[in-house]
Chain A
């Protein structure tokens, strides 16, 4: 099909989008292999198989690229957590499960955790990723009477603050953050949301769904 004048911009747009995605994919590979702090922009454009100069058409700095890469990881993780809790009726179970899996994944990926801890506040008000899903779970829990918090946005800030703090500890003292500590953090948050102590403990220590799937994100 011959290109018409109206095709031209969209083709350019598509090519731009592909280049951007290649850069993000490369950044995600660096994050996953924990080599993002030492990677140069040249390393990234080489891995992405795009010209060095094209980097700055899309991102103003390495940090901006890695923030975008982490945002994409969070969105994929959020979609997966949604799937894993699609047959869960109890918002407290869904919330606990998501917290436990998220902290485990972030602890297992120090580079991703590092970007989260450095720029974490920026993700709290993001429209994609984990924050809107956590807010939704908190609101569902309030509506069903499972959670007893006055202001869901404050509960979201508390949740995010607690998780970022745990991730910080996992970076500075990796040996101290065990699976049990991830569960303990979930238990604290359930208590905070108004779930009785014994129930919070049971929810935060029960069996977890498909962890290997989460590790693939």
Chain B
């Protein structure tokens, strides 16, 4: 399985993790996030996406977008945003992609969906 999905996963994960790191750093620099250890936060965010992926895989009846929004809100609190602000941000409609009639999904949602197809912690985490 890894032979087939591995390379795709590697390039997508590396890209997403790099982008997540950049986003967290930018928010810290802007005074939005309060974090002590950016690397640990990044590890946590990716770890939660992995377990969310597993959960969505094991429970296909769950609404993946709703679960992702909920965890995104929890993660924003973890990164230091006040609870009401975190809730407000995660309930806003996502921007619409130019090429699609459907609302764009969050980057975190993409990560969780990707991880729901390959759930090996070790494989994903080594690209952190």
Chain A contact residues, CB within 8 Å of chain B: 117-118, 120-121, 124-125, 148-151, 153-155, 157-158, 160-166, 168-169, 172, 181, 184-185, 187-189, 191-194, 197
Contacts and interface: CB of A to CB of B under 8 A. Distances in A.
Contacts of B122: 117-118, 168
Q: How large is the interface on B (under 10, 10 to 19, 20 to 34, 35 or more residues)?
A: 35 or more
A193 B79 CA distance: 12
Contacts of B48: 157-158, 161-162, 165
Given A166-B40, A166-B43, A181-B40, A124 B78 contact: no
B80 A191 contact: yes
B125 A192 contact: no
Interface in B68-91: 70-71, 73-75, 77-80, 83
A92 B85 CA distance: 22
Interface string B9-26: 000000000000000000
Contacts, number: 107
Q: Is the interface of B mostly helix, strand, loop or mixed?
A: helix
A165 B125 contact: yes
B55 A154 contact: yes
A188 B51 contact: no
Given A166-B47, A188-B41, A192-B75, 14 more contacts: A117-B121, A121-B54, A151-B70, A154-B52, A155-B74, A157-B55, A158-B52, A158-B71, A161-B51, A162-B48, A166-B44, A172-B125, A181-B37, A188-B40
